[in-house]
Amino acid sequence: MAPRGPWGQSSLNERVIWCREFARAVASHQDRLCELTQAEVHKPRWQALTADVMSLLACARWHERHAKRVLAPKRVRGRPWWMLGQSHRCVRVPLGTVGIIATWNYPVQLLGIQLVQVLMAGNDVIVKPSERAPRTQRLLLELASRGLPAGTLTALEPTREAGPELLRHRPLDHVVFTGSTRVGRQVASWAGENLVPTSLELSGCDSAIVLADADPKLAATTLWHTMAMNAGQTCMAPRRVLVERGAYRPFLSALSLIAAGAQPLRLIDEAAAARVSGLVEGAVRAGGRVLTGVFEPAEGAVFRPTVVADCPRHAELVRGDHFGPALAVVPVQDVEDALRVHLACPQHLACSIFTGDPDRAAALAPRLRAGFVTINDCVLPVSHPGAGLGGVGESGWGVTRGEEGLLAMTRPVYVSITSARVRTPAGEPSPSVLAKLAWFSRRVLGGVKREAPLIGPASASELSTSPNPSSPSIASSSPPGATTSEPASR
């Protein structure tokens, strides 16, 4: 464990003051943060404000109000009666030094929330900014460093080479990575070799399920805007919609009206746009159809949001291994059929269910293997600052955000205090006390109300006198010359 600096010795009150001042600094510089985000990752200004800046400010306010409660020492209840004079409590302490490998698609929100949680827990932090949003994240790190002791926050160069350098040459107690599953595997491999725990928030590529009793217009409107938000470059955005037959035609009808007016969007680079365009083209060749009737290939980094209806299940677009505004719509017979398609995909981060029966959807949620399930909505509820987010399978591990994410940036220390006067006697108990302890163990702790026949290997004397002719005796199982009264030598 890396040694803790002065920030690790700070009080929670001091950290709350830092969090409040950080939020004020972000709010004061929100125009500049939005301008930089728009310039570097081509995000519309209104999305930079609502999805990045406002989400970070809401997170900071939640931690300002709730971090003390979450991190406060807690009594461990349920002490057995024989632990006389003892009390136990759990104290949360910082991990030490946490490395953050930042991502670009939400450059203010994601890095900002990670900084809040790491620093509110009392850790030092080393950040490798994204090479795609260097100026945006440089400003964010400058704002975060205000009020921190020297050496608490270290920013590396925003280059591809800085990530491996962080992992190989810096003493770390935890790594937070947000990005692709491919790179996440490399981070996990390094961490495993060095026994460094990680929080990996990887790609989601998850499903939306539209049940037969859903409001088709609500489902279509919500899913379209979620798919097109940030040019489809959201890890929790659905990549496939699984629609029960009863809702299929109304859903496509509502969705086609929206898709007809879609405007082209600029993705992060030409390679990303070409990837999405190629998957859509492949799905059409496999038997799907573009909902608007016309397929428009990508032009450079620009691609028009596209829905492929009647998409064959074997099409690669259904697998969802893309990061852009394309959606596969697959008809399914029922919930079980939808689950077969959904679970065949390896990445599960967030999933949506649209239905007129929320209780039915809530009962279905645990079967989806997703870390977050939204009912009659998509993505937006995940921004609740008190809710955690954790992937399953190839979507990573560990929980970020909310109470669980804050606790993950600490480690528990269990402290026991025993009274000098009232305490459990040491040494071997007397026969009568031991008999009472045996009775208590069996009747009270074990819940055994009556004696039961012993189960297990019988003794030699029991075997030799067994009345059951089929039971083996010592004589029959001993080497030649051995008797029951004089066992053979070994």
Structure tokens that stand for 381 in this block: 């509820």
Residue 379 C-alpha from the chain's centroid: 14
Structural domains of the chain sorted by starting position, each given as residue range(s) with its CATH number in brackets: 6-202+403-414 (3.40.605.10), 207-385 (3.40.309.10)
Structure tokens that stand for 334 in this block: 């029922």
What is the pLDDT, as a whole number, of residue 253?
A: 97
Q: Say how far apart CA 83 and CA 80 lie, in whole Å.
A: 6
- 418 and 86 Cβ atoms separated by less than 8 Å: yes
What is the pLDDT, as a whole number, of residue 482?
A: 42
CB atoms closer than 10 angstroms to residue 105: 23
pTM score, two decimals? 0.88
Residue 338 C-alpha from the chain's centroid: 23
Predicted confidence pLDDT, tens digits, the chain (490 residues): 555 689 999 999 999 999 999 999 999 999 999 999 999 999 999 999 999 999 999 999 999 999 999 999 999 999 888 888 999 999 999 999 999 999 999 999 999 999 999 999 999 999 999 999 999 999 999 999 999 999 999 999 999 999 999 999 999 999 999 999 999 999 999 999 999 999 999 988 889 999 999 999 999 999 999 999 999 999 889 999 999 999 999 999 999 999 999 999 999 999 999 999 999 999 999 999 999 999 999 999 999 999 999 999 999 999 998 999 999 999 999 999 999 999 999 888 999 999 999 999 999 999 999 999 999 999 999 999 999 999 888 889 999 999 999 999 999 999 999 998 888 888 898 999 999 889 988 888 888 887 666 665 555 455 444 444 444 433 333 344 444 344 443 3
